[in-house]
């Protein structure tokens, strides 16, 4: 899938032929714990989230650098992270229901 340029503009040719990945996201920082809890709530997960305290050197927070995507083809997120997560969970659930109905 190729990223689409914003309406009324066109991507730089090098952006469309680059083999390097682009980070697409809101650029909003979130703790890994908050992200896990949010996803658990959105998916109805009722189990326990267990943190491996023997691995304290992991990244406690995450924030994508989306500047390359903006610079190369004008991508700028219009959907906040929490809304995007909710929509993604709804899409996956709908896709799974559709696939189950086609069996």
Per-residue pLDDT of the chain (103 residues; tens, 9 = 90+): 445 555 555 555 555 556 777 777 777 888 888 999 999 999 999 999 988 878 767 667 777 788 888 888 888 888 888 999 999 999 999 988 888 887 7
Q: Which domain holds residue 43?
A: 13-101
Instruction: Give a yes or no: residue 4 inside a domain.
Output: no
Instruction: Give a yes or no: residue 7 inside a domain.
Output: no
Instruction: Give a yes or no: residue 20 inside a domain.
Output: yes
Instruction: Give a yes or no: residue 95 inside a domain.
Output: yes
Instruction: Give a yes or no: residue 8 inside a domain.
Output: no
CATH number for position 68: 3.90.25
CA atoms of 46 and 50, how far apart (whole Å) = 13
CA atoms of 22 and 65, how far apart (whole Å) = 9
- pTM listed for this prediction: 0.64
């Amino acid at each position: 899938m190729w990223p689409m340029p914003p309406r009324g503009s066109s991507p730089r040719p090098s952006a469309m032929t680059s083999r390097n990945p682009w980070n697409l996201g809101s650029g909003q920082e979130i703790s890994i714990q908050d992200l896990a809890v949010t996803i658990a709530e959105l998916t109805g997960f009722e189990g326990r989230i267990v943190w491996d305290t023997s691995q304290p050197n992991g990244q406690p927070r995450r924030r994508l650098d989306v500047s390359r995507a903006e610079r190369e083809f004008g991508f700028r997120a219009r959907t906040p992270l929490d809304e995007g997560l909710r929509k993604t969970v709804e899409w996956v659930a709908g896709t799974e229901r559709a696939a189950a109905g086609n069996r």
